Amino acid sequence: MPELTYLNGKIFEAGETRISTNDRGFIFGDGIYEVVRSYNGKLFGLEEHLRRLQQSADAIDLKLPHTLEEFQELVETLNRKSELLETLVYIQVTRGTEPRNHLFSLDLPPNVFITIRALPDIPGEIYTKGVSAVTVHDGRWNMCHVKSISLLANVLAKHEARKQGAYEAIFVRENGVVTEASSSNVFMVSGGILHTHPADNRILNGITRQFILKLCDELNIPTEVRPYSKDELRRADEVFCTNSVHEVTPVVTVDGMTIGSGRPGPITNQLMRAYRQLVKSVISNQ
């Protein structure tokens, strides 16, 4: 099965799923989501992703219709049913369906939508050669810690990157602070220290980001979790992005300026390997 889709208790073939145009996700972007990757049929970090789904739900006053244990069972069952080994799992919960009105009914049942897809091909070159990034203005709202389905700013940022021939867009606030990228967290290495923006309301606290910070502790790589500027980013020795699908992706140019040697740096490579090793050991113990 190339794609398995689940909506509110039923499984559909790809393209057959129907939802009302009164779904508040469709009308308002009133919903939250998670993306999880599976390796060899096992979901990596599912519990962490579901905990974050709960945090997003709490932050927008949405009562999840299942417990996290029920969600876990459901997602694992669907992933097995897909019979695919390497998958990308998308979990979306919207506030529910009712005629358009900003004010929502308090007893509205949420819509749960899940897709299981074969992991798209990821060119190995992004890891061996690295990718280019451009900086874009971060004009997003102040609740970026919520994994909201309202992603217009992120969509436009990625579009801007493409227009400039780049792979990823890195958000920079009006005060010059680098926050994160359009669909990943951003790290830079400067003077042997790994820097990343604090997990506050300006970024999504990536599950991969959290694993990377833990790995740094284990590997004795010094870290500074603090806001840093676009100038510091451009002068960094190494830059990389992280997300659950693409893991650790080296960035070798920012705004056309070469980062370090112009090749993925040693700390980036070390963390890329360590993350893959972590995934391997976690899934082999499942």
Ligand X SMILES: Cc1ncc(COP(=O)(O)O)c(C=O)c1O
Active-site amino acid positions: 147
Q: How far is the CB of 208 from ligand X (least distance, A)?
A: 3
Binding characters for ligand X, 27-46, by CB under 6 A (x = yes)? --------x-----------
Q: How far is the CB of 117 from ligand X (least distance, A)?
A: 15
Which is closer to ligand X, CB of 100 or CB of 159? Answer: 159
Binding-residue total with ligand X (CB under 6 A): 14
Q: How far is the CB of 98 from ligand X (least distance, A)?
A: 28
Q: How far is the CB of 112 from ligand X (least distance, A)?
A: 19
Q: Within positions 198 to 227, which residues make up the interface with ligand X, using CB under 6 A?
A: 204, 206-209
Q: Which of 38, 94, 135, 243 binds ligand X (CB under 6 A)?
A: 243
Residues contacting residue 214 through CB under 8 Å, at least 6 positions apart: none
Q: Is 133 in contact with 168 (CB distance < 8 Å)?
A: yes
Which is closer to ligand X, CB of 79 or CB of 243? Answer: 243
Q: Within positions 7 to 26, which residues make up the interface with ligand X, using CB under 6 A?
A: none
Q: Within positions 244 to 273, which residues make up the interface with ligand X, using CB under 6 A?
A: 244
Q: Is 139 left (phi over 0), alpha (psi -120 to 50) or beta?
A: alpha
Which is closer to ligand X, CB of 4 or CB of 181? Answer: 181
SS3 of the chain: the string is CCEEEEECCEEEECCCCCCCCCEHHHHHCCEEEEEEEEECCEECCHHHHHHHHHHHHHHCCCCCCCCHHHHHHHHHHHHHHCCCCCEEEEEEEECCECCCCCCCCCCCCCEEEEEEEECCCCCCHHHHCCEEEEEEECCCCCCCCCCECCCHHHHHHHHHHHHCCCCEEEEECCCCEEEEECCCEEEEEECCEEEECCCCCCCCCCHHHHHHHHHHHHCCCCEEECCEEHHHHHCCCEEEEEECCCEEEEEEEECCEECCCCCCCHHHHHHHHHHHHHHHHHHHCC
Which is closer to ligand X, CB of 24 or CB of 37? Answer: 37
Q: How far is the CB of 197 from ligand X (least distance, A)?
A: 10
**Which two three-digit tokens encode residue 101?**
């009105």
Q: How far is the CB of 260 from ligand X (least distance, A)?
A: 23
Which is closer to ligand X, CB of 108 or CB of 282? Answer: 282
Q: Is 117 in the site for ligand X (CB under 6 A)?
A: no
- Beta-bridge partners for 168: 133
Binding characters for ligand X, 172-201, by CB under 6 A (x = yes)? --------x--xxx----------------
Which is closer to ligand X, CB of 6 or CB of 171? Answer: 171
The residue nearest ligand X at its CB is 206
Contacting positions for ligand X (CB under 6 A): 35, 154, 180, 183-185, 204, 206-209, 242-244
